Structure 1
Amino acid sequence: MKYMVLILLLSINTAVLAQKNEIVKEKWHWGNPVKQDTTAGYVQVIKVDNILYISGAVSTAVTPEGITQVYLALERSLKSFGAGFQNVVKENLYTTDIEAMKKYNDSRKAFYKKDFPAATWIQVERLYMSDAKLEVELVAHLPKY
C-alpha cells in the first residue's frame, strides 16, 4: 500500500511539473530598462536557451549607407548577448526594392566575412514604418556550455 501511495504522489508531481513547462526568456531592447517596447509591443532581442531571436532593424534607404546602418544595428543587437555575425544561422530580409538590395549586396556580405547564413529575401509593398525601405531580422545560436 505504501508503494502505491508513493507511486501516486510521484505521478501527480510529474504531471504538475510537466504543466509548468515554461521557457525562460532573456530580453534586450536598445538599453530600455523595461527591455521591451510597450507601445508597439515587441522586444529587439529575445534569448531562449542558446538561441537569439532578433527583431528587424530598418533603414529608409536601400543604399550602401542604408544597408550598413541596418547591419550595424543588428551587430549591436547580437553584441547584447556576446554574439556576432558568425553566430547567425538565419536571415530574413524584407525590402520594397529587391533590385537595389541585389545591386548593393556587397554592403551586407561584408558583415558575414564569407560565413553566410541561410537567408530569405522578400520584396514587400510596405513595411511597418511607412518610410522604411529595408528590414532585416536574424536568428543566431550561441555556443552551449
Structure 2
Amino acid sequence: MAEKRKCGCAKPGSVSSIVPDESPTAKICIQTEAAPLPVGPYSQAVKIDKTIYISGCLGLKLDPNELVEGGAAAEAKQALKHMGTILEASGSSYNNVLKTTVFLGCMDDFAAVNDVYKQFFTKDFPARSCFQVAKLPLEANVEIEAIATIVEGEVAAPPADGGGDDAPPPDGDAPPEDAPPEDAPAEDAPAEDAPAEE
C-alpha cells in the first residue's frame, strides 16, 4: 500500500505528487503561474487519477490581492478564465467539467453571471449549484469552483478567449515539416543564367 505523505506546495508551473505516480490514487497538487496564486493554505487544484478538484476561483488580476473592476459579471469572466488556465495545466478543458459551484455575494447578480457563464460552457452543461453567501474573500462578488475529469486522447483546450496572433495553425493547415519555403525555386528548374542546351 502506498505511503501517504503530507502535501507540500508545488513549484510554480509544476505539479507535485504526494504518493508514487504509478499509484492510481496518487494525489497531485496543481499550481501554475498563469493563474493567481492561492490567497490561503490550499492548492489551485488537486488531481486524483482522472478527477480534478479545482478550488474556488475569484475574479483576480495576476496580483492575487486585487479584483478586476466591473462588478460580478467582470469578476465571473475573470474567474472562469483562471479556471480554464488551471484546467489546461491539469490536462483537461471546459468540456470535461462535471460540476461547478457558484457563490454569489448577492443573488441579484444571478442573471449577469449566467450570461458570462454561457460564454465558457456552451453545450452539454455541467451540473451546478449556486448559493448566495454572507461574504466572500477579498470582498469579491463571485467565486466559482469545479470538479472536472480527464478524457484520454483529448488535447487540453486553452481558455475560451485564448490564442493570439502567434498561435499555431490547426493541424490541417500546418505545412509539412520538410516542405520548402513558398518562394524557393523548384528543384528541376534551370538557373536563370544557365545557357540553353543545343
Q: TM-score, normalising length from structure 2?
A: 0.55
Q: Report the Cα offset of residue 29 of structure 1.
A: 1.8
> Which residue type is aligned with residue 50 of structure 2?
N
Q: SS of the residue aligned with 2:75?
A: helix
Is there any run of 5+ residues in structure 2 with no aligned partner, and where? Answer: 5-18, 20-24, 60-66, 154-198
Please state if 1:137 is matched with 2:116.
no
Q: Report the Cα offset of residue 82 of structure 1.
A: 2.1
Structure 2 Cα separation of the partners of residues 27 and 132 of structure 1:
25
Q: Report the Cα offset of residue 140 of structure 1.
A: 0.2
Higher strand share: 1
Aligned length in residues: 122
Q: Report the Cα offset of residue 144 of structure 1.
A: 5.0
Higher helix share: 1
Structure 2 Cα separation of the partners of residues 20 and 79 of structure 1:
29
Q: SS of the residue aligned with 2:138?
A: coil
RMSD (CA atoms)? 2.3
> Which residue type is aligned with residue 29 of structure 1?
Q
Report the identity percentage.
Answer: 25
Deviation per CA, 1:28-70, whole angstroms, max 9, x where unpaired? 12339xxx85x7210001110000000011135312x222111
Structure 1 runs of 4+ aligned residues shifted over 3 Å read 19-23
Match of 2:118 in 1: 109
Q: TM-score, normalising length from structure 1?
A: 0.74
Structure 2 Cα separation of the partners of residues 72 and 108 of structure 1:
11
Structure 1 Cα separation of the partners of residues 112 and 84 of structure 2:
22
| RCO comparison, higher one (Cα < 8 Å, 6+) | 1
Match of 2:30 in 1: 28
Q: SS of the residue aligned with 1:114?
A: coil
